[in-house]
Structure 1
Amino acid sequence: MAAKPFIIFVLGPPASGKGTLCKRLAEDHNLYHLSAGDYLRYLINGPLADQPDIVDAVRSGGTRGLVRGDVIVSLLIEKIKEEMSKGTSVFLLDGFPRNLEQDKAFREAMSAEFKSDTPDLTISISCPKEVARARYLNRKRGDDSEDLFNERYSNYLERDTQVVELYRKGLIEVKADGSLSIDQSYLKMIETLSREPAWTNLISNKQK
């Protein structure tokens, strides 16, 4: 098992293409795609179904802030340790952290658990509200609605962008402005990553 995990934060508004881009990046480079929201939903429908406080918090807002940062972090750290025991060393954290509290709790936990200064890379996907809204409503998932989109996008602007600003120095920015297809956005992301020493060293080491 690797001494410590390589952590990549992937941030962006709802329906900006985070999940799609993360899945493709993970498949192409043998990385582990860990969607915080999807993982929490999996837990409350299985392993944590008997813990009503967590179940209610996740169903009411999940990673957007209603579950305490330390609770989310403890769950993610355990998942990271589990996957590391299987040989995984690089993790794409999709949609996490959502606020400064979660970021602080995660960095403190990583330092205590792995003596690791986290994150190793931060990717921010920017997407205009009108483009994100159209994608959000077109996907017709669960209880998606225009009101819920507006709430989630507002939450992103109020909280998530504080995390983006925290990592502004060295931030890897990917634009999804509607003029580019997902394939084109992905190629732009790879092009930008290829100029980052931390990424090129990572890929070089994985190929040895």
Structure 2
Amino acid sequence: MSAEKPKVIFVLGGPGAGKGTQCANIVKTYGYVHLSAGDLLRQERNTEGSEYGDLIETHIKNGTIVPVEITCSLLERAMIESSKNKFLIDGFPRSKDNMEGWERQMGSKVNLRCVFFFDCTDQICVDRCLKRGLAGSGRTDDNEESLRKRLLTYQRETMPIIMHYESLGLVRKIDAAKPEEEVFEEIKVIFKEFDAE
């Protein structure tokens, strides 16, 4: 990583809130590197001989949260390997334990710019994920049962994290129920604010 601390934006919201879609738009427009905690975990799970593979698989199947040390080390490795210094970290931190682990392992190494909070109803999340599953997303957790578990975990574990960052003035709330193009217009406004800083 470069001498300047890497800039990090956390991207949070329920499953199906459009985080991945908008991250792709931000990467194209603003040159950030998109790191999805979930994708990194799935990749590690599928890596031949990974010491964490089985453990990760169990957590993914049960809709529970993988130990933070594993997730942080995968994120840090991906940041170093990218040799860039602007990152969107998607779907992390998901719990108090995640947040505290990140602070311990990475807090002093990065500059946390803000938290994007993609806000929409549980029903919209479910509908979008089921549609994604039918379209062949290849994700074992795009089914109604796993989704209900994931949404419960999200409400119980992730919402308090969003509230915590909101109390620090770091949250930028985005109306994720809108069509994709309108959501991205909201995001552009936030990036204009960054440029003005």
Q: 1:111 to 1:147 in 2, by over 3 A?
A: closer
Q: 2:72 corresponds to which residue?
A: 73
Within 2, Cα distance between the matches of 1:92 and 1:111? 15
Within 1, Cα distance between the matches of 2:99 and 2:73? 12
Q: 2:114 corresponds to which residue?
A: 121
Within 2, Cα distance between the matches of 1:111 and 1:185? 29
CA contact (8 A) 1:60 1:66 kept: no
Q: 1:134 corresponds to which residue?
A: 127
> What is the CA distance between 1:61 and its match in structure 2?
2.5
Within 2, Cα distance between the matches of 1:92 and 1:71? 18
Within 1, Cα distance between the matches of 2:123 and 2:64? 24
Deviations 1:125-158 (A, max 9, x none): 0011111111111111333211111111111000
SS in structure 2 at match of 1:2: coil
Q: 1:201 to 1:33 in 2, by over 3 A?
A: farther
Q: 1:206 corresponds to which residue?
A: none
Runs of 4+ in 1 over 4 A off after TM superposition: none
| Unaligned segments of structure 1, at least 5 residues | 203-208
> What is the CA distance between 1:193 and its match in structure 2?
3.5
Q: 2:192 corresponds to which residue?
A: 194
> What is the CA distance between 1:6 and its match in structure 2?
0.4
Within 2, Cα distance between the matches of 1:174 and 1:111? 25
Q: 1:109 corresponds to which residue?
A: 105
- What TM-score do the two structures reach when normalised by structure 1? 0.83
Amino-acid identity (%): 26
Q: 1:149 to 1:111 in 2, by over 3 A?
A: closer
SS in structure 1 at match of 2:49: coil
Within 2, Cα distance between the matches of 1:45 and 1:136? 22
Q: Which amino acid aligns with 2:71?
A: I
Q: Which amino acid aligns with 2:31?
A: N
RMSD across aligned positions (CA): 1.8
Alignment coverage as a number of residue pairs: 187
Alignment partner of 1:9 is 2:5: no
| Unaligned segments of structure 2, at least 5 residues | none
Q: 2:26 corresponds to which residue?
A: 25
> What is the CA distance between 1:69 and its match in structure 2?
0.8
Q: 2:161 aligns with which of 157, 163, 166?
A: 163
> What is the CA distance between 1:102 and its match in structure 2?
1.1
Q: Which amino acid aligns with 1:175?
A: D
Q: 2:55 aligns with which of 33, 54, 57?
A: 57
> What is the CA distance between 1:15 and its match in structure 2?
0.3
